Structure 1
């Protein structure tokens, strides 16, 4: 069994990890945490939880597509928000929930102390099932 590490075109190439990993066709896809980085590698929307959540969704969906999966193939998400304020967690969740529409897969929402990139407030990871090709 060979694992394929995904480097998604159009996402910032300077990160020190793959954007997703895929096992054989029809297997699970585990994504790295999608960060609010633009194509230049800069954090999008410093201080703006909603803007960062939207960028995380955009980046997550790009990694999923590069892995042969899509939004409707997601089995679970985990959302990290660097804030002790529930209003910030709710704001991030609302953006992510809206992006998934009626596909309301299980999710975990966590407030954390700090995330890895400068000015980063939100990170989003997923487990998905790649459909048989």
Structure 2
């Protein structure tokens, strides 16, 4: 079995990891944590949990698209929020939950001490299933 590492051309290329990985024939996609980074690697929405959650969803969507999937193919998410305040966790969750609409996948929401990039408050990771494993 060969693992295909996915590098999403639309996302910041200065990270030291692939944005997703697919292992055929199962066609499971494991994403790296989607961070609120713009194309130059700058953190989007410093101090704004909601803006960062929306940016994470946008970047997750781009990584999934590069792997041949979309939000409707997600099997599970993990949401990390760098805060001890439940209101911050709830705010991040509200944005992410809204983005998924009727597709209410299992998810884990965690408050953590710190995340990897300067001013980063939110990170969103997912496991998805590529519907057509021959697509890529």
- Confirm or deny a common fold (TM above 0.5): yes
1:27 Cα deviation from its structure 2 partner: 1.6
User: Matches of 1:61 and 1:25 in 2, distance apart?
Assistant: 22
Equivalent residue, structure 2, for 1:98: 98
Deviation per CA, 1:90-129: give whole Å up to 9, x if none. 0000000000000000000000000000000000000001
User: Matches of 2:121 and 2:25 in 1, distance apart?
Assistant: 34
Equivalent residue, structure 1, for 2:4: 4
So what's the TM-score if we normalise by structure 2?
Answer: 0.96
User: Matches of 2:112 and 2:71 in 1, distance apart?
Assistant: 25
Unaligned 5+ segments in structure 2 are: none
Preserved contact between residue 26 and residue 131 of structure 1 (Cα < 8 Å): no
Q: Secondary structure at the match of 2:36?
A: coil
So what's the TM-score if we normalise by structure 1?
Answer: 0.98
1:26 Cα deviation from its structure 2 partner: 4.6
Preserved contact between residue 25 and residue 131 of structure 1 (Cα < 8 Å): no
Equivalent residue, structure 2, for 1:108: 108
User: Matches of 1:121 and 1:127 in 2, distance apart?
Assistant: 21
Q: Secondary structure at the match of 1:80?
A: strand
User: Matches of 1:106 and 1:5 in 2, distance apart?
Assistant: 24
Unaligned 5+ segments in structure 1 are: none
Residue correspondence of structure 1 range 1-133 to structure 2 within 5 A: 1-132=1-132, 133=134
Deviation per CA, 1:30-63: give whole Å up to 9, x if none. 0000000001100000000000000000000100
1:25 Cα deviation from its structure 2 partner: 4.8
